[in-house]
A and B are shown apart, each in its own frame.
Chain A
């Protein structure tokens, strides 16, 4: 079945540094990928929609200059958290969609801790 790989699974960084998270579709081409953030005991909140070859679309309240998204190929999207702060600590999850109407599949998430 469709597999979405996310890396790293856990990362700890210091305040002010930047962290890059990768999301790869392993056995299908993903024209669209989505980035979610999930705080403890809460639901998934969509941050942005990443479209291959074009700029990402950000949800209201999400700073595009802080959360940089690049979708340079049909199998890879990256999310870079720039100048990270402790309040950015969260569980970041990507999902990928292949052909039209194919179900979304999620990566295993990245636990970011900013100290």
Chain B
């Protein structure tokens, strides 16, 4: 099946640093979603974007829906230990049949 290109694949950062990851697609989407998945659990929705150019924040998280509708980024400011996990972007049309990114594994170095 189709997957979105998500980068970076993994990140090793120190606590307190900012994090940035992005997703790109060869086709447009009407919806971009960002999820976080902890080991052995299902993805948890972080931010949902429904409009090209939209910039939305959720606490220390900020995500934007690219103007071209083919990309999105997620920023995490002042990372903390509980931010560790795998982050997935997902593109869709009205939330139906989401296509997931390849994931970004975030590790925080003590």
* Residue from the set A34, A100, A101, A105 with the largest chain B CB neighbour count within 10 Å: A101
Q: Please classify how large the interface on chain A is, using the bins under 10, 10 to 19, 20 to 34, 35 or more.
A: 20 to 34
Contact A93/B42 with A43-B101, A43-B103 known, Cβ cut-off 8 Å: yes
**A102: interface (CB < 8 Å):** yes
Q: Please classify how large the interface on chain B is, using the bins under 10, 10 to 19, 20 to 34, 35 or more.
A: 20 to 34
Contact, CB under 8 Å: A6 / B42: yes
**A13: interface (CB < 8 Å):** no
Name B's A-contacting residues (CB within 8 A). 1, 3, 33, 35, 40-45, 48, 50, 88, 94-103
Name A's B-contacting residues (CB within 8 A). 4, 6, 32, 34, 42-46, 49, 59-61, 91, 93, 95, 97, 100-109, 111
